Amino acid sequence: MKVIQIGILAVLSALIVSLPFAGVAQAITDNYQVDKTRPFVGLVIYYALDQNGNRVPVEACTGILLSSQVVLTAGHGAATGLAVTVSFDEGPIMYDPETGQYSGITNLYDGIAYPHPDYGWNVQGKGGLPSTAQNDVGIIILNKAVSGVSIFAQLPTERLVDTLPTKTAVTLTGYGLQVHLSPRKTGVENTWTGLLARNSASAKLLSNNFAWSDEFIRVSANPGQGKGGIAYGDSGGPVFLGQTNTVLAVTSYVTNPNCAGETYHSRIDIPSVLNWIKAEVSTYG
């Protein structure tokens, strides 16, 4: 079976790149609940232009408000050059695959998205892991300040992840189908049908001793024992340290077609990424 390689989260078939494993991560699954404590986590919608020049929503992911106008997200979405809007509505938001339209959104903020300057592809892969993006972090600068949100996500200290032991508790938050994770036989195309909401789930860090630990963290995605995970619909979503608002990483990719086992998230505590993010917040905050 083929899995979607990182790119924008299945931006229609024209923008999907299929390679063996390394699927873009989407949607909170298992033991989830609506996250009412983090209004700074938003739904990011990307648009293409139709033949008449009208914007058509083609895919969505998750973003994290760091200041009134700066949103942190995944680099693989921000790198597409597509028009983008962000909503901080809690949901439920309905996506209709027949029309490609979203309903139930009360406020949308237009912005400009771009990836980390060193974002790129590691085509070869290493350490047995699949080819994937490097520096998979992006920024969206909103055209105007977000109203109604008085708290923002917090950035970590440098190399914070290196100090955290295996099984450290984390919280995953993002938008996606409210599904109970099970093997999908209908394919990725159907995973976005239905209601979207700002959901969260508890999970645990896996060992930092792996090939890409200098850039990614691994999180347990197996359900049970009060744990949840991410699946199709959640790229760019935050991994919070425990129940705090401190972001350790943004959701990047999965290596299992059913989003089980383990998931990978691009660290923002490494100096080259953290300093870039801080500079963007300082400039546009």
3-class SS string, 193-206 = CEEEEEEEEEEEEC
**Domains of the chain, CATH where assigned:** 3-284 (2.40.10.120)
Q: CA–CA separation, 37 vs 22, rounded Å? A: 31
Q: What is the pLDDT of residue 220?
A: 80
pTM for this predicted structure: 0.82
Alpha helices in the chain (DSSP H): 75-78, 271-284
CB neighbours of residue 282 within 10 Å: 10
Q: What is the pLDDT of residue 207?
A: 87
Q: CA–CA separation, 171 vs 239, rounded Å? A: 6
Residue recorded with tokens 């979503």: 237
Contact 28, 173 (CB under 8 A): yes
Kindly compute the dihedral angle of the four CA atoms of residues 276, 279, 283, 285, in this order, to the nearest 10 degrees.
Answer: 90
Q: Give buried/exposed letters for 243-257 (b at 16+ CB in 10 A, else e).
A: eebbbbbbbbbbbbb
Q: CA–CA separation, 16 vs 13, rounded Å? A: 5
CB neighbours of residue 99 within 10 Å: 10
Q: What are the pLDDT tens digits along the chain (285 aa)?
A: 122 223 333 332 222 222 223 333 334 444 566 778 899 999 999 999 888 888 888 888 899 999 999 999 999 999 999 999 999 998 888 877 677 778 889 899 999 999 999 998 765 555 555 567 789 999 999 999 999 999 999 999 999 999 999 999 999 888 865 443 333 434 444 444 567 888 888 888 998 888 788 999 988 865 554 444 555 557 899 999 999 999 999 988 766 555 556 788 999 999 999 999 999 999 987
